[in-house]
Amino acid sequence: MSEDKGLKLKEQLRVNDRELADTGHLFGLEKLERKESDPGTYEAVWHILSNLCNAAWSVGCKVSSSPIAAEGGDALWALHTPTGEAVCVSRGITAHPGLLADMIRNFIELDYEDYPGFHQGDIFENNDPHYGGIHAPDFDMAMPIFYGDELVAWTSCVSHVSDCGSVTPGSIGFLNPDCYSDGLCIAMEKVGEADKFYPWYDMRIKSRTRTPDWVLGDARGRLAGCITVREKLIEVIDKYGLDFFRDACKEYVEDSRRYAVGRVRTQAVPGRIRKSQFKDLAMKGKRVLLGKQDIDCLFNLPMELEIKADANVAISLRGASGTVPFGENISPTALKSGLLNGYSHIVGFDMFNSGPSASWEVETPPGGSWANPFEKDFSASSGVAWAPAVMWMSSLYEVFGRLYHMRGFIEEMAAGAATTMTAEFAGINQTGQYVAGLTLEQACNGSPARGFTDGENSAWCIYTPNADFGNAEIAELYYPVLYLGRNLEPDSAGYGRFRGGLGHTAVWMVHNTPSIEYQCGCAGIRSKTISNHGMYGAYPAVPDRPAYAHDTNVKELIAEQKPLVHERGDPEDQQITNNVKARELEDAAIAPFVTPEPLQDYDIIVHPVSGAQSMGDPLDRAPAAVEDDLNKGWVRAGVAERVHGVVAVSNGRWTVDEKATAEKRKTLRDERKGKAVPFRQWWDEERKRVEACENMDAAVIEMWRSSMELSPGYGDELRAFWRLPEDFIFELPAAGKEES
């Protein structure tokens, strides 16, 4: 029961929805009375609640067992209203408060209040994307909090377990062909009561995951954090009173909605903003699980925002391409939660909670697309549902960066994000333990370029503000690898006036294992192509290209004290190619992949983590900044001259030749004009090539076909732009069809 008029929670949800529709304010709060009458207490209690969630994060991560939570802090705790709206959240993986809020709402919508009922100490969980989860490794938990006999709040948690028992070993299953291979499923279940898990919950994890001790340890971590929230919250209510707590929680959520709307209104511009984005998943000819996966895919990830006159934001994914037979499809609920993550970074981060999402009108993504798979493809896999979503969300940073620029708020601008390439291991480690999980390298990218300076190197992550790649020594404790290198990667960000922060490269030697599976995973990467983040004339960051060597001569190299591999080296002069001999050596592998054979001792892995996107014409980059990069080894001389037009000489230290640089830049600008043609001239020729599908990979053709079929209006606009026949559809040539 809710506190209002003895309504059931489901009835209260209807009241809430109606009040928002009628007044435009969450809970119908046209005034924030607690804030206005006692702003000091209002603010103080907010910080207490926030600290309480962060205390839960500290406790929960310490209790957890897997390196993902215990070392990387890849988890999150939150406090919710009785009807599910997130009030405040801890640090950690901020992509989740939206779906945790929706999960609680779903428990209510499904009449769980009647059966099995809500009681103090009950533990509910979900990890099933069909019911709003993001992907199976993210276990979402919620517990109702009672004060006396009244349900006054919920606490929730998500932690990313090291293994959920999917058909492919490792933490996140991009390779899963369908949902039946996604692993252990907890579908909106009550999994414990009286603060204890049911025995069968433990038994299921023990029989269906590869690392049950870690998975159960993480479950206890989630529970410990939730109990921490509950126990501390009861003390807060004792002190400040239930009436204040109830009122203030609603006001915090509405306050946050107002903040987001206010920020858009005072710092952006109304209008329509569009950003195309694409992401590849090239698997043809690689090790896959089912025959249908022997294909290359390209995702269409279009973003359209309409900033409306009332400063609410309409968001559309019209044109999203179809589902893929891999674990890269995401439910609309999870996608919206991801959007809240992006919004928290770049729009509404004063009080992070559910509030800003009430200022959106998110158009349901096309049914049967990667962003709304289950309508047409109920068995679609969501093994690593994040992969396309996070690349789509990257556009949000650039989009708002452009909006802030137009109002002159240069200090708030950002370019696009880096990518997320994971390294996953499964097999016997150096202690004889079976391990399955991922390292944390990807949780520490370069940050996007800003409107006034470069991004930060290895200090940012799109899915968590808690960017941390963890200690090398800890990774070496869990997995049978030794770090031969972990260095900033030159030229790993885009090229522009302001450079994205650089990524880094980890170099591992497999050590002390009978054999281990290595999966270079996709949690949002591009390898055949690159991002469409050429903001204001920058070049997008390089594609993700890892390397490995299997069955190597490294043992002999060590014995002979010869050079090993400690970094990538120049793109045309790589260390792994120069220094290592191997039966199988890929020095520019198209990711993602699982190595054809398990790796063994003395095998080498080179795992680059991407830098972020840049902004502005690279010829406008300050020569002194290029000189500084040269001297730090962050840009290679060829890029400095060819792309930035900077002429520099080295006598042990690089010095820019200002006069030669000015001349070089003038020459390059003139050359640009000479090489370029009027747009219309290009359009006249290009539309014939488009109609003929000239030099378009089968993956490109199939992407356009599905995008246009699933979003007819989008298709009409594309046809109109290229003046294609009204009945034109992209089709593979007969031979191409057979091949694909």
Partner 1 sequence: MAEFHKEDIARLMDGVLPWPAVQDMLKSPKDLDRFDKYLEIMAERVPWDDTILLPLTPQLMIVARKGERVVKCLCGQEYGDYRVNWKLSALVHVRDSQQALDEIYRGRDALDEAWVQLREYICPGCGSMLEVEAVPRGCPPDFEFLPDLDTFYREWLGRELPDKCEYEDRTLAVVAEWSSEGE
Q: Which of 116, 117, 285, 408 binds partner 1 (CB under 8 A)?
A: 408
- Determine if 662 is a binding residue for partner 1 (CB under 8 A): no
Give the whole-angstrom CA distance, residue 582 versus residue 591: 20
Which 564-583 positions form the footprint of partner 1 (CB under 8 A)?
568, 570-574
Stretch that binds partner 1, among 59-67, 157-165, 423-431, 541-549 (CB under 8 A): 541-549
- Determine if 416 is a binding residue for partner 1 (CB under 8 A): no
In the complex, the smallest distance separating the C-beta of residue 504 from partner 1, rounded to whole angstroms, is 16
In the complex, the smallest distance separating the C-beta of residue 385 from partner 1, rounded to whole angstroms, is 23
Which 700-729 positions form the footprint of partner 1 (CB under 8 A)?
700, 703-704, 717-718, 720-723
- Determine if 406 is a binding residue for partner 1 (CB under 8 A): yes
Q: Which of 294, 628, 697, 709 binds partner 1 (CB under 8 A)?
A: 697
In the complex, the smallest distance separating the C-beta of residue 703 from partner 1, rounded to whole angstroms, is 7
Question: By C-alpha distance, which of 338, 479, 497 is closest to 413?
Answer: 497
Question: By C-alpha distance, which of 13, 184, 15, 197 is closest to 107?
Answer: 13
| CA-based radius of gyration for the chain | 26
In the complex, the smallest distance separating the C-beta of residue 158 from partner 1, rounded to whole angstroms, is 29
List Cα–Cα distances, 295 to 134, 268, 291, 737, in angstroms.
Answer: 24, 42, 9, 11
Residues 6+ apart with CB under 8 A from 560: none
Residues 6+ apart with CB under 8 A from 104: 80, 83, 84, 142, 154, 156
Stretch that binds partner 1, among 6-14, 215-223, 337-345, 665-673 (CB under 8 A): 665-673
In the complex, the smallest distance separating the C-beta of residue 295 from partner 1, rounded to whole angstroms, is 14
Which 357-396 positions form the footprint of partner 1 (CB under 8 A)?
none
Binding mask of the shown chain, residues 293 to 332, with x at each position contacting partner 1 by CB under 8 A: -----x--------x-x-----------------------
Give the whole-angstrom CA distance, residue 517 versus residue 603: 12
Residue 270, Cβ neighbours under 10 Å: how many?
A: 13
Nearer CB in complex with partner 1: 20/696: 696
Give the whole-angstrom CA distance, residue 109 versus residue 16: 13
Q: Which of 241, 677, 731, 739 binds partner 1 (CB under 8 A)?
A: 677
Number of residues in contact with partner 1 under rule CB under 8 A: 96
The 3-state DSSP class for residue 12 equals helix
Give the whole-angstrom CA distance, residue 214 versus residue 19: 44
Nearer CB in complex with partner 1: 497/550: 497
In the complex, the smallest distance separating the C-beta of residue 93 from partner 1, rounded to whole angstroms, is 24
Stretch that binds partner 1, among 4-12, 152-160, 477-485, 692-700 (CB under 8 A): 692-700
- Determine if 689 is a binding residue for partner 1 (CB under 8 A): yes
Stretch that binds partner 1, among 136-144, 149-157, 365-373, 676-684 (CB under 8 A): 676-684
Question: By C-alpha distance, which of 36, 101, 2, 68 is closest to 352?
Answer: 101
In the complex, the smallest distance separating the C-beta of residue 720 from partner 1, rounded to whole angstroms, is 5
Question: By C-alpha distance, which of 512, 189, 127, 518 is closest to 334?
Answer: 127
Nearer CB in complex with partner 1: 463/704: 704
Nearer CB in complex with partner 1: 158/273: 273
* Helix (H) / strand (E) containing 147: strand 138-147
Handedness of CA 37, 39, 42, 44 (dihedral sign): negative
Stretch that binds partner 1, among 102-110, 163-171, 471-479, 618-626 (CB under 8 A): 618-626
Which 101-160 positions form the footprint of partner 1 (CB under 8 A)?
none
Binding mask of the shown chain, residues 624 to 643, with x at each position contacting partner 1 by CB under 8 A: --------------x---xx
Reading the block at residue 486, the tokens are 């972990």
Nearer CB in complex with partner 1: 226/317: 317
Backbone dihedral angles phi then psi of residue 360, each to the nearest 5 degrees = -110, 150
Residue 484, Cβ neighbours under 10 Å: how many?
A: 18
**DSSP class of 514:** S
Nearer CB in complex with partner 1: 277/439: 277
Nearer CB in complex with partner 1: 243/411: 411
Which 229-258 positions form the footprint of partner 1 (CB under 8 A)?
none
- Determine if 498 is a binding residue for partner 1 (CB under 8 A): yes
Which 257-296 positions form the footprint of partner 1 (CB under 8 A)?
265-267, 269-276, 278, 280
Nearer CB in complex with partner 1: 173/366: 366
Reading the block at residue 142, the tokens are 């919620």
Stretch that binds partner 1, among 61-69, 116-124, 214-222, 531-539 (CB under 8 A): 531-539
Are the beta carbons of 44 and 56 closer than 8 angstroms?
no
Question: By C-alpha distance, which of 464, 421, 374 is closest to 607?
Answer: 421
Nearer CB in complex with partner 1: 98/490: 490
- Determine if 535 is a binding residue for partner 1 (CB under 8 A): yes
- Determine if 588 is a binding residue for partner 1 (CB under 8 A): yes
- Determine if 682 is a binding residue for partner 1 (CB under 8 A): yes
Stretch that binds partner 1, among 39-47, 326-334, 377-385, 528-536 (CB under 8 A): 528-536
The full DSSP string for 215-240 is HHHHHHHHHHHHHHHHHHHHHHHHHH
Which 444-483 positions form the footprint of partner 1 (CB under 8 A)?
451-453
Give the whole-angstrom CA distance, residue 179 versus residue 252: 38
Strand blocks (E) in 270-417: 271-275, 278-282, 296-300, 303-307, 313-316, 360-362
Residues 6+ apart with CB under 8 A from 405: 413, 451
The full DSSP string for 426-447 is EEE-TTS-EEEEE-SGGG-BPP
Which 640-659 positions form the footprint of partner 1 (CB under 8 A)?
642-643
